[in-house]
Amino acid sequence: MSAFDSLKFDANGLIPAVVQDIGTQKVLMLGYMNRPALERTLESGLVTFWSRSRNTYWVKGETSGNVLKLKGIRVNCELNSLLVEVDPVGPTCHEGYQSCFFRRLATDRDEWEITDPQMKTPAELYGHRTSRGNEGTGAGA
């Protein structure tokens, strides 16, 4: 019996995976995995997700080169979500930020404010292609 047999995947066979930088402890993104994506991640050492919008597997960083090197996987107490610990190579967000969570709700306004510096522009990450659809949305594509 595999440890994966105890996981509680949703009706679509997916489990949410919060990705965290093992060095800084910063949350980088949220994606979704199915069992084969988990197995591919373990086999390759590079974090692989299931894209809900494209209905296919994708290795984070496969087009930008900004991969997520697997360092560990944790599971929550209810066995229904994962914490994937990684060593990121470059920015994780497809918009060029270290984390997909680079905006915070302003306390005095009803707006989102950018709190983190942009490491690279989408053009620097992907060349002439637009930032949308290359790496997913960072929200579990």
Q: What does the pLDDT look like over 27-81, one tens digit per residue?
A: 999 999 999 999 999 999 999 999 999 999 999 999 889 999 999 999 999 999 9
Cβ neighbours around 6 below 10 Å, total: 9
Q: Rounded CA gap, 140 and 2, in Å?
A: 25
Amino acid at 64: S
User: Is the pLDDT at 137 greater than 60, yes or no?
Assistant: no
Q: How much is the mean pLDDT over the chain?
A: 90
Residue 49's pLDDT is 98
Which CATH code of 3.40.50.720, 1.10.3720.10, 3.40.50.2300, 3.10.20.810 fits the domain covering 13-126?
Answer: 3.10.20.810
Tokens 């988990």 sit at which residue?
38
Q: Please count the CA atoms within 13 angstroms of the CA of 37 that sit on its side-chain side.
A: 26
User: Is the pLDDT at 141 greater than 80, yes or no?
Assistant: no
The pTM of the full predicted model, rounded to 2 decimals, is 0.86
User: Is the pLDDT at 136 greater than 80, yes or no?
Assistant: no
Mean pLDDT across 109-120: 92
**Token pair listed for 35:** 């069992």
Query: Given pLDDT bands bounded at 50, 70 and 90, which one contains residue 133?
Result: very low
**Token pair listed for 76:** 């929550």
